[in-house]
Amino acid sequence: MNAPNGQDRLFGRLLALAFALTLAFGVLIAHYYDRLGSSPAQVATGTGTSGGDGTSGNQQSPGDGAGGTAAATPGQNPTSVATSTTTKTGGTTTGKVPTGTTRGVSKGSIKVGGIFSITGPFDASPARDSTRAYFQLINSEGGVNGRTLEYISYDDAFDPTQGQNAARKLIEQDKVFAIVGWLAPNSEPAASQYFAKVGLPVVGGLAVPQEFGPRNFFATMANLGKAGAAVARFPCDAKVKKPAVGIVDLPFADQMMAAVRKGLAQCGVTDPILTKIASTSADYTQYILEWRSKGADSIGAALDPMGFVKLMQALDRQSWHPPTWLVGSADSERNAMVKNALEGAFSVESQLVATLHTDLPGPRRYVETMHKYYPGTTIASTAQISWTAAQVFVEGLRRAGPDPTWQKVIEAIETLRDFKTDLTAPLTYTATDHDAIKCIELLQWKNGAWTDYYPDFQCWEYTSDGGTVVRPSRPFT
Amino acid sequence: MHADLILPLTIVGIVTGSMYALGAMGIVVIYKTTRVLNFAHGAIGMISAFLAYQLGYLWSMNVGIAALSAIAFSALLGFSIERFTIRPLEGKAPLIKVVVTLGWLLIITSFAGIKWGASAYHVPIKLVPEGTVGLPGVHISYADLATLAVAGVLTAALATFFRLTRLGVAMRAVADDVSSARILGIRVDRVNSTAWILGSVLAAITGILLSPKVALDTYSLTLLVIFSFAAALYGGLVSLPKAFAAAMVLGVVQSVSSGFLHLAGLADLIALAVIIFALVQPGSALMRAVAKEGA
């Protein structure tokens, strides 16, 4: 073997230096985006020069707020009428709504935007198609107050940087009136802060913690930071002692883990096994082996769509079938890939799984519309939240009247009381509570298909101490 | 971590390592002969798996025929890449050829995304029946065992091929010195084509075998090759046995360390460490290869 010569050593050192610089640059970028995600004021880097009151006709850059005033920081009063605050007080929503911005609204149409993870490990194309299908349905019926809905969407490729770029493009270039039905797990935390600063109506999303609090956000999925506590009720009912809970390693994983821990503590389970799971891992066997060695008696999981498949495959390989609780896993195609392994497993859904209830008019309308406009699209429970988001937005738009503004639409949605959607329990939004999804459907996989474990929705209420109380049932529709 | 987990996690790691090893084989075969680092390797495996899915699942063809057709397609693709986009660059800097492979990576993934959708909603064909074998503390699926066996057999077969067959020796001769090989009457173009065909076929076998385990989308299989690159780099991109061993070690270290450290990106970090080590270690196989290239 030849000893390395000077050229080799120099080459090696240069490579090492390049790697060190790359790592340092990566850390700086990560730090920068972390700041974007934690401070709305930091998001305001736009250089637009218009603005002021944010009224119709002004193509206000999100960066300038109102006359260049920065958004309020958490805990402070808003300093600008063109922005929403991000003050969070428990589950309530606070802050002023923006004034009459109408950008994206023309005589015949309204531009609406969305960001979806299409390429990459998470496929949100069914959610995008669900939003589009609802808008196409509405357009075919004449639109809303004489205007059709024009939907513009971008793929973030499961990348927060691309998500940020898409968010800015929708606001600064496309000048959309609202964000509706979006589903981009890795981008939503930071992009939400940006949209909160801009102040336009945002309906739907994955209900990450950042989407609760700003006045312009309306969730159509159970609050991930809190639903864990409600979801934990069902394992508690099953008298589990040592559950192992795997949560996909996304920006909201910590909040969800805290909620699950809190919920389990309510029934005396104080030492659960909580694990963050890497969606990029090819094999989940190592998690299964670890959980089993630690004496887990049941499994809970909130994972990306393919993660459910890998988890069930790994459980099946080890011939280990403890009681298993999944969150939002109903998906016809992927469920079919592990249909034997799923036997007996439970799934908690914040929407009525449409394919199971085509006897009801709402789910039937969803399924038929999807088949009409997007026949190849998978009907998945995660996509349904986007349909509901589109439905809530259209109702708000309708109530806002012939001259919609951000303010009018936001305030109109806040007037919804027991609003009947196609796929959820009736929804109520108020000026202080935009956390409308408080009911879940519990399914069990039996003989190769999901079946209703309870005949009705299971709904909960948040208690003053941040806990939850689950009421036994509420009729579907 | 419980001590009794070390053995099962090691077994899981060996299975994972065999996946990386399979991916590394094709990278090494192409580089060993042509000195081109093929960044499109994972994409070739991915599109072959998609083709098998198209034939075997969507068109309900016999899965064996679907797999063989996809492998034949990969051979044609490998030949085309070499014949029409690499060969015209003969005499140019290796970096230019590497950039061409990056171009193919983008072309193939874009095409697959347009044709099949860049999502995980595809049901891969399964060549190996379902079922498991019980080993100490862990059950391994037949598919995992098949992957391990194929990786081991291919490594041995390819090493023998390069050492004992006329074509294999010719490929090594081309790799050592193209001009001398030509003087000796070796048809260098044909040898290079063969290397690309062989490498692409190995990519296809990898893609088809692994797609039931890794999500069949345009992303997962393409990026799984990063771990294979780490293993191949450790073998200086030329040594099949070393790449195989490095893949196994990488898989085992990733698996066992996950029992100690609960860090979601741990596997990626370990692979990065292996790559850096392979690159900067004085006297490493790669450094020798680089020095030889520059000589």
Write out the two tokens for A440: 């879940």
Residue A331: closest C-alpha in chain B: B121
Residue A51: which of A198, A196, A166 has the closest Cα? Answer: A198
* B1–A290 C-beta distance less than 8 A: yes
User: What pLDDT score was predicted for residue A329?
Assistant: 81
Residues of chain A in contact with residue B290, where contact means CB-CB under 8 angstroms, are: 8, 11
Q: Domain extents for chain B?
A: 3-124+133-293
- pLDDT tens per residue across span A365-374: 999 999 999 9
User: What pLDDT score was predicted for residue A227?
Assistant: 67
- pLDDT tens per residue across span B10-52: 998 899 899 899 999 999 999 989 989 999 999 999 999 999 9
Q: How far apart are CA B41 and CA B201, in angstroms?
A: 10
A375 interface with B at CB cutoff 8 Å: no
* A293–B2 C-beta distance less than 8 A: yes
The continuous run of DSSP H or E covering A216 comes out as none
User: What pLDDT score was predicted for residue A459?
Assistant: 82
User: What pLDDT score was predicted for residue A10?
Assistant: 57
| Between residues A74 and A422, the one the model is more confident about | A422
DSSP A47-113: -----SS--TT----TTTTBTTBPPPPTTSPPS-TTS----EETTEEBSPPP----TTB-SSEEEEE
Distance between B139 CA and the closest CA of chain A, angstroms? 5
User: What pLDDT score was predicted for residue A89?
Assistant: 33
Q: How far apart are CA A217 and CA A184, in angstroms?
A: 15
Fold of B3-124+133-293: ABC transporter involved in vitamin B12 uptake, BtuC (1.10.3470)
What is the average per-residue pLDDT within B124-149? 87
Residue A279: closest C-alpha in chain B: B264
User: What pLDDT score was predicted for residue A201?
Assistant: 96
**Under 8 Å between Cβ of A291 and A314:** no
Distance between B83 CA and the closest CA of chain A, angstroms? 31
pLDDT bin (cut points 50, 70, 90) of residue A233 is confident
Tell me the domains of chain A and their CATH numbers: 109-222+358-437 (3.40.50.2300), 227-349+440-475 (3.40.50.2300)
User: What pLDDT score was predicted for residue A50?
Assistant: 29
Write out the two tokens for A86: 């991000």
* A125–B282 C-beta distance less than 8 A: no
The continuous run of DSSP H or E covering A191 comes out as helix A188-198
Least confident of A36-45, A141-150, A403-412: A36-45
Percentage of chain A beyond pLDDT 90 is 38
Q: Answer yes or no: is pLDDT of B134 > 90.
A: no
Q: How far apart are CA B18 and CA B169, in angstroms?
A: 26
What is the average per-residue pLDDT within B151-164? 91
pLDDT bin (cut points 50, 70, 90) of residue B293 is low
* A317–B141 C-beta distance less than 8 A: yes
* B223–A12 C-beta distance less than 8 A: no
Q: How far apart are CA A445 and CA A336, in angstroms?
A: 11
At residue A451, what are phi and psi to the nearest 5 degrees?
-135, 155
A267 interface with B at CB cutoff 8 Å: no
* A5–B19 C-beta distance less than 8 A: no
Residues of chain A in contact with residue B291, where contact means CB-CB under 8 angstroms, are: 2, 4-5, 7-8
User: What pLDDT score was predicted for residue B226?
Assistant: 84
Q: Answer yes or no: is pLDDT of A100 > 50.
A: yes
Q: How far apart are CA A127 and CA A124, in angstroms?
A: 5
Q: Which residues pair with A243 in a beta bridge?
A: A298
At residue B135, what are phi and psi to the nearest 5 degrees?
-120, 170
Taking every pair of C-alpha atoms in chain B, what is the biggest distance, in angstroms? Answer: 62
Q: What is the mean pLDDT of chain B?
A: 86
Non-local (6+) Cβ contacts of B188 within 8 A are B174, B178, B181, B182
Residue A308: closest C-alpha in chain B: B215
Q: Find how far residue A47's CA is from the centre of its chain.
A: 29
Write out the two tokens for A87: 């003050």
A286 interface with B at CB cutoff 8 Å: yes
- Highest-pLDDT range among A270-279, A302-311, B51-60: B51-60
User: What pLDDT score was predicted for residue A427?
Assistant: 93
pLDDT bin (cut points 50, 70, 90) of residue A5 is low
- pLDDT tens per residue across span A101-140: 788 999 999 999 999 998 777 788 899 999 999 999 999 9
CB-closest option in B2, B12, B223 to A285: B12
| Between residues A123 and A68, the one the model is more confident about | A123
* A289–B8 C-beta distance less than 8 A: yes
Q: How far apart are CA B85 and CA B249, in angstroms?
A: 35
* A333–B123 C-beta distance less than 8 A: yes
At residue A471, what are phi and psi to the nearest 5 degrees?
-85, 145
Residue A280: closest C-alpha in chain B: B220
Q: Answer yes or no: is pLDDT of A44 > 60.
A: no
Distance between A97 CA and the closest CA of chain B, angstroms? 37
Q: Answer yes or no: is pLDDT of B76 > 60.
A: yes
pLDDT bin (cut points 50, 70, 90) of residue B114 is confident
Residues of chain B in contact with residue A5, where contact means CB-CB under 8 angstroms, are: 291
Percentage of chain B beyond pLDDT 90 is 42
DSSP state of A210: G
Q: What is the mean pLDDT of chain A?
A: 78
**Under 8 Å between Cβ of A212 and A435:** yes
Distance between A141 CA and the closest CA of chain B, angstroms? 30
Query: How much of chain B is helix, strand and coil, in % rounded to 5?
Result: 75, 5, 20
Residue B38: which of B152, B160, B198, B182 has the closest Cα? Answer: B198
- pLDDT tens per residue across span A284-297: 888 999 899 999 99
DSSP state of A2: P
What is the average per-residue pLDDT within B214-224? 79
User: What pLDDT score was predicted for residue A15?
Assistant: 55
What is the average per-residue pLDDT within A216-228? 82
| Between residues B226 and B290, the one the model is more confident about | B226
- pLDDT tens per residue across span A430-464: 999 998 988 888 889 998 889 988 878 888 777 66
At residue A98, what are phi and psi to the nearest 5 degrees?
-65, 160
Residues of chain B in contact with residue A278, where contact means CB-CB under 8 angstroms, are: 264-267
Q: How far apart are CA A380 and CA A366, in angstroms?
A: 11
- Give the helix ranges, DSSP H, for B131-219: 142-164, 166-176, 178-183, 188-210
CB-closest option in B137, B139, B276 to A317: B139
* A333–B219 C-beta distance less than 8 A: no
Q: Answer yes or no: is pLDDT of A91 > 90.
A: no
Q: Answer yes or no: is pLDDT of A8 > 60.
A: no
Write out the two tokens for A348: 């908690």
Least confident of A34-43, A299-308, B9-18: A34-43
Query: Which of B280, B284, B288, B293 should we substitute to test contact with A (largest number of A Cβ atoms within 10 Å)?
Result: B280
* B281–A12 C-beta distance less than 8 A: yes
Distance between B164 CA and the closest CA of chain A, angstroms? 23
Q: Answer yes or no: is pLDDT of B117 > 80.
A: no
pLDDT bin (cut points 50, 70, 90) of residue A95 is low
- pLDDT tens per residue across span A315-353: 988 889 999 998 888 877 778 778 888 999 998 888 888
Non-local (6+) Cβ contacts of A399 within 8 A are A412, A413, A415
Non-local (6+) Cβ contacts of B233 within 8 A are B274, B275, B278, B279, B286
Residues of chain B in contact with residue A317, where contact means CB-CB under 8 angstroms, are: 132, 139-141
Non-local (6+) Cβ contacts of A361 within 8 A are A422, A477
The continuous run of DSSP H or E covering A22 comes out as helix A6-38
Q: Find how far residue B86's CA is from the centre of its chain.
A: 19
CB-closest option in B215, B287, B291 to A306: B215
Size of the A and B interface in Cβ pairs below 8 Å: 129
User: What pLDDT score was predicted for residue A68?
Assistant: 30
| Between residues A242 and A304, the one the model is more confident about | A242
A277 interface with B at CB cutoff 8 Å: yes
What is the average per-residue pLDDT within A388-406? 96
| Between residues B210 and A21, the one the model is more confident about | B210
| Between residues B173 and A57, the one the model is more confident about | B173
Q: How far apart are CA A439 and CA A425, in angstroms?
A: 7
